[in-house]
A and B are shown apart, each in its own frame.
Chain A
Amino acid sequence: MSDDPKDSPSAAPEPAASSPAPRKPALTAAQRMSRERQQQARRRVLHTILLSGGVMGAALSGWLPLAYAQRQRLRPPGALDEKDFLASCIKCGQCVQVCPVNAIKLADLVDGFGVGAPYIAARDQACDFSCDAVQCILACPTGALTYHKPDFLKPRSGAGLAAKPVLKAKQKDPEPTLNLTERIGVARLTRPESCLALQGKGFKGQARGADFKGRMRYMEVDRWKPIPVADHPYDVPECDLCVRECPVAQAISIETVTLADGRQRRQPVVHEPCVGCGVCEMVCPVEQAAIEVVPREVWRA
């Protein structure tokens, strides 16, 4: 369509309508007009290509890192397997809004794994199940986070939990379990050399220093109100913060382990009920954390 609408009666008639005017100057004017039109059309094609290229380039640059999937991120509890999760997540952030400890963040452009898709950076703020009921799953409108996976999405071997995990905070409740059937990751002692328990050391003070913003609920303080980790200092003869604060019953314990050369040492050992919430990673007092949650890791006996 032409830019300037030829609405006013004073405007010249369109060139197509000017056929009964075969005089010479009029013809050249028409020719000039048509050349201009051609140029306009060419410019239009050029801009169309420019816009298409820009939009498609941007769209694909957001998607390509996904195709390579170089970065693994911890997803909120109840997340489907990564590919299905990214397919079904509508990026609305309702899971972010209901989390009482703000554990869930939304990915940005440079994260390259789905702009607006939720993840948990456990070292900064882990999911400690303060909400008791896994509110993020209840909030999800598309089933990207779900209690009940559809039948055609079989759990990966080792991702399924042997039994519904018992929440320590709910142990005295008539229904003490969390309604979770699959883990989102597994905790691993990735830096045993820095583990305080392994060195036979205790721990005294704020787990992550005075500036740490992370929060957690402490049953002995208030079941319904998470407080900053910095407000809850420790004084333990043998460091067992990861075991002490793990929200899931029987998921981790300090054990005496016999090494291959016959020496014995104390260290945290992760057990099958571990759901991969990341609380152990958050409270681990050494920098960098000796114990970490490996996203999407499955249980291997």
Chain B
Amino acid sequence: MNNPLRKRFGEQILLMFGREPKRPEEGDIAPAAQKIHFFKQGNRDFIAEKKHARAHAVKKNTWRNRRWATLITANLLFVLSYWLDVQLLEGSLTASRFVGFHLIDLNSALQVMLAHKHIIVNLLIGTGTILVGWALLGGRTFCSWVCPYHLLAEWAEKLHLWLAEKKLVSDAPIDRRLRVVFWLIFALLALGTGYTVYEAISPTGILSRALIYGPGLALLWVIALLFFEVFFSRRAWCRYACPIGLTYGVVGIVSPLRVKYTLEGCFHEGDCRKVCLVPHVLDTVIKGRAVDTEVPIGPDCTRCGLCVDTCPSGSLKFDVKGLSKLL
């Protein structure tokens, strides 16, 4: 990793904790990238190429479909496992056993550890497995590929955008630092009250249990959240509140699986940022901001692939660090 990318790596972590993205200093941009930035300035061929691509852009949903299939399958596996009594994936998203092997959600495990202050071996094994698993698969990949609330929120987002287009609602952005504050408050509440307070309102846990063990009144809270997202603030829970997202985000810092941005073909039209759950991670696609010719997207990215689907120039692609060099 060269210097501009190393510097950006650190900044991306701060970005996850709520800092606003900044335009990089000229000195922080690699010469090769500077050359491309310069080449794109008012280049007629490039503008023509862009117009052509725009006119012939085909809407793809490849990654979205794969992701929805995965998300539904994962949650269905829990449900069917219990209903058909096949004991393949027992439990719910907070803690489960896959063919007998313990899997424990990191945020739930953290809440229990802080509240109970005693860790048994099974808890440690389950947490360790999930930690390693999601560190390899990208951390917040959990959010968009597994979390059932994410899917509902995606549909609520569609409704929000439709209403926004009709000027019936407008998106109210919220301070992203709030998520860190929530994370700390819930950690302190668990530690102080000796009770896993967050679990009572976790839409992920509530939905997962509702799917497996039948619906309950706790779903009202999930509905209230979706209502807030449709009428007040786009994707508010996932963007500004969910401590699970931050926990997995931290795990994903070291992940080799991420979306990679290639500067050269990018038309800088920002379609990707319009569909993104966490557009601050795509700051690098703004004209003149890429610090190198190839830039990995930061750890707050949920690897949902919407940007990969949307990008008309193929500048955003899934990438496994080291693997592309190997192949």
Contacts and interface: CB of A to CB of B under 8 A. Distances in A.
A59 interface: yes
B178 A141 contact: no
Contacts of A54: 224, 228
A44 B102 contact: no
Contacts of B95: 90, 92, 94, 141-142
A143 B109 CA distance: 12
Contacts of A83: 194-195
A272 B245 CA distance: 49
B133 interface: no
A221 interface: no
Given A59-B198, A97-B90, A109-B216, A90 B109 contact: yes
Interface size on B, as a range, is: 35 or more
Contacts of A201: none
B213 A96 contact: yes
A1 B280 contact: yes
Nearest to A114: B200
B318 interface: no
Given A54-B224, A90-B94, A59 B201 contact: yes
Contact of A51 (B116, B189, B240): B240
Interface in B179-206: 181-182, 185-186, 189, 193-201, 205-206
B112 A115 contact: no
Nearest to A116: B209
Contacts of A5: 270, 273-274, 279, 286
A108 B216 contact: yes
Given A55-B201, A90-B112, A141-B104, A110 B122 contact: no
A9 to B, nearest CB: 7
Given A44-B173, A52-B178, A7 B197 contact: no
B222 to A, nearest CB: 11
A150 interface: yes
A83 B115 CA distance: 10
B128 interface: no
A157 interface: no
Interface string B30-46: 00000000000000000
Interface of A: 1, 3, 5-9, 43-48, 50-52, 54-56, 58-60, 62-63, 66-67, 83-84, 86-94, 96-98, 106, 108-110, 114-116, 139, 141-143, 146, 150, 152
10 closest Cβ pairs, A-B complex? A62-B200, A7-B270, A92-B95, A108-B216, A143-B120, A87-B115, A88-B116, A87-B116, A47-B172, A92-B91
